A and B are shown apart, each in its own frame.
Chain A
Amino acid sequence: MAPPSLLNRSLRFAAAASLIFPLSSTATDEPKPKPENTITLELGEPVPVQKFEHPPKFWISDVTDRSGNPQPLLVLKERGGIFLDRQPAAIVKDSLESSLKAANLLAPDLASADLVIRLYVFHFGLASGSALDFFGKVEFSGMVKNPKTGESLEVKAIGTSIANGAVRKKNIQKNVQENIEAALRDATRNFVRGTQLKDAVAQLHGADLPATTAAPAAAPN
């Protein structure tokens, strides 16, 4: 058998290299989630909810991630990456549920809820900052719906936090975690203590109550 020509050999080498090289280059660029670069976000103490005239029972039915982020778990790509241990939608849902539960405003199930909230997460994690610090931003909105009447209103919430930058990987991870936790807490607070939620409850739940109590009085004849 005749030995392959130089051209043939170089072609084979180029084909092999084109198959192997991109794999090796992407392997070095793309960070992988490991226990040491994965952070767990917790709200800590539940956020105190505002007082309502007629406190309703809420139920969070569904959370949709509308951020359009192809890698929602990846918070920071540089320095080997920082990952979240859960989906942002699940973290937002948990933080809202814990705060509502602490205020005794969480219904045990969907059937017994006065108002149903459907959440849409628009941003969760770090946003572009000044490069000197970390800018954490959590933005979501909730469609508050009265299941009896079918009426719904939108309540928006935004939480921001700015943390100092860091050089060491350990400190970067710590600062990023604290920063996103602060932004999550801020957004949760913005939602549960906001005037938008107050107005939505007054309109959707408050309107529901007088209708039932006023109905017999309105029809005396």
Chain B
Amino acid sequence: MRRLMMVLALAGLCAAAASARPKDQATVYKSAEAKHFSTAEGVELSPAFADYFYAELRNELTKSKLVSEVIGEGEAVDDSDAAKSLVISGTITEYKKGSVVKSALIGFGAGFKSLKMDADVIRRSDKQNLCTIQVHVKVDPRWNEKVMAKGAAHEMVKEMKKALSEGEKSAAPTAAKPS
């Protein structure tokens, strides 16, 4: 019985270590460049929104520790670091202003402001698309649009982290195979 308990404890420890590994893992990418997102036709957002979203995205990327350094738009990167450098660009595809009346009368998310955006994460050296992310954020219509930008940036970095770690996992066995 005691032996079984010890084996179980060891297995638990191993599982915990395995789950903790990705968090403690050193950042794979050296730098990431976030670009200002473009807006699709018909999207009526203030020009300040793009600037604020750009700043929030950079802020979230720094916080996430996905990359060692977050560089500004249009900054030069050494050729030696280009393979470990990401470029994030995207488009705001849809924005709905929402309705305060609908939100107040119906509730349950009706009349909420809605924002949809697509982003591409590209490796700088070979321009390979590492992942495509689609984010849909809904917020109360009484809230400032900048709050929506904050939520969208947070969601985008979360999705990006997930997609890149999944991509690494799937790429790891193929990379380990001898050619």
Is A193 at the interface (CB under 8 A from chain B)?
A: yes
Question: Assuming A137-B51, A162-B59, is B74 touching A131 (CB within 8 A)?
Answer: no
Q: Does A221 contact B (CB under 8 A)?
A: no
Main secondary structure of the interface of B (DSSP, over half): helix
Looking at the complex, which one of B55, B72, B73, B147 makes contact with A137 (CB distance below 8 Å)?
B55
Main secondary structure of the interface of A (DSSP, over half): mixed
Q: In the assembled complex, which residues on chain B have CB atoms less than 8 Å from the CB atom of A128?
A: 48, 52, 146
Minimum CB–CB distance from B75 to chain A (whole Å) comes to 5
A131, chain B: closest CB distance, angstroms: 6
Is residue B176 within 8 Å, beta carbon to beta carbon, of the partner chain?
Answer: no
The residue of chain B having its C-beta at the shortest distance from the C-beta of A131 within the complex is: B144
1/0 contact trace for A151-165 toward B, CB 8 Å?
A: 000001011111000
**B56: Cβ under 8 A from any A Cβ:** yes
A194, B77: Cα distance in complex, Å: 9
Q: Among A130, A186, A190, which residue has its beta carbon within 8 angstroms of that of B146? A: A130
Residues of B within 8 A of A198 (CB): 76
- In the complex, per-residue mask of A108-144: 1 if CB is within 8 Å of any chain B CB, else 0: 0000000000000000000111111001010000000
Q: Nearest-CB distance from B64 to chain A (Å)?
A: 14
Is B146's CB under 8 angstroms from A131's CB?
Answer: yes
Within the complex, which residue of B56, B72, B144, B149 is in contact with A189, where a contact is CB–CB below 8 Å?
B72
- Interface residue count on the B side (C-beta < 8 Å): 19
Cα distance A140–B4 in the bound complex, in angstroms: 68
B62-104 residues at the A interface, CB under 8 angstroms: 71-76
Residues of chain A in range 51-91 having any CB-CB distance to chain B below 8 Å:
none
How far is B72's CA from A194's CA once the two chains are assembled, in angstroms?
A: 8
Q: B75–A160 contact, CB under 8 A? A: no
How long is the Cα–Cα vector from A221 to B76 in the complex, in angstroms?
Answer: 42
Q: Which residues of A contact B113 (CB under 8 A)?
A: none
* A159 and B147 alpha carbons, distance in the complex (Å): 20
Contacts of A129 in B (CB 8 A): 52, 146
- Shortest distance from the beta carbon of A156 to any chain B beta carbon, whole Å: 8
Task: Kindly list chain A residues whose C-beta atoms are within 8 Å of the C-beta of B54.
Answer: 160
In contact, B147 and A132 (Cβ under 8 angstroms): yes
Q: Is A195 an interface residue (CB 8 A)?
A: yes
B24-71 contacts to A, CB under 8 A, are 48, 51-52, 54-56, 58-59, 71
Q: How far is B75's CA from A127's CA once the two chains are assembled, in angstroms?
A: 23
Nearest A residue (CB) for B75: A193
Q: Pick the contact of B55: A50, A132, A161, A189 (CB < 8 A).
A: A161
* 23 A-B pairs (CB sep. < 8 Å): A50-B76, A128-B146, A130-B146, A130-B150, A131-B144, A131-B146, A131-B147, A137-B51, A137-B55, A158-B72, A158-B73, A160-B55, A162-B55, A162-B59, A190-B72, A190-B74, A190-B75, A193-B75, A194-B74, A194-B75, A194-B76, A195-B75, A198-B76
Binding site for B on A (CB under 8 A): 50, 127-132, 135, 137, 156, 158-162, 186, 189-190, 193-196, 198
7 interchain residue pairs of minimum CB distance: A160-B55, A130-B146, A190-B72, A162-B59, A193-B75, A130-B147, A194-B74
